[in-house]
Amino acid sequence: MPDSDGPTHAYIGASPGCWGIFGEVTAREYGDYRYASAHRFTVDAYAAQHPGVPERRSIQSVAVHLISLHLTLEKGMTSDQTMKAMQRAADRSAAFVWLDPPYPLGEVTVVDVLEAKAPAEHNERVERWARSVWKAWSPHHETVRRWAKL
């Protein structure tokens, strides 16, 4: 990641340089409708790939973003359905516990997405990223699936 003295997120464990790249990717998705369909995966993959430290907000964040990846990738839910399920899950956040992050946290990163040259390539890379992150968390899949059913 590039060196940067820029801002970071309060509980997502990202360096300033990485957080800046995430901002560039999300700006692309907000700024051009052809990229918008990838946004749910972008946020979920990034949050799950940067779990932070064991504290209430990061525990909830990782849990709901992993639930979203599970529901989308394994259950085929739409982004709207997944958003509603994430909101319901967040209301039950007391049931979540810290999951020790796997290593590595996936083979694809936000840098791979930033390098995409066209919308179709961007969307394909984001989906590959989401699948990579979900696969990395496989030691905790059963826990996430249980949380998704609560």
CA distance 111 to 114: 5
Ramachandran area for residue 130 (φ above 0: left; ψ -120 to 50: alpha; else beta): alpha
Query: What's the pLDDT score for residue 21?
Result: 96
What is the chain's pLDDT, residue by residue, as a tens digit (150 residues)?
A: 667 788 899 999 999 999 999 999 999 999 999 999 999 999 999 999 999 999 999 999 999 999 999 999 999 999 899 999 999 988 888 899 999 999 999 999 999 999 999 999 999 999 999 999 999 999 999 999 999 997
| Identity of residue 97 | V
CA distance 14 to 60: 17
How far is Cα of residue 5 from the mean position of the Cα atoms in its chain?
23
What pTM, to 2 d.p., does this model score?
Answer: 0.94
Query: What's the pLDDT score for residue 5?
Result: 80
Query: What's the pLDDT score for residue 2?
Result: 65
Write the CB contacts of 148 (distance below 8 Å, at least 6 apart in sequence): 67, 70, 71, 85, 89
Residue 5: is it exposed, middle or buried by C-beta count within 10 angstroms (0-12/13-18/19+)? exposed
Query: What's the pLDDT score for residue 1?
Result: 65
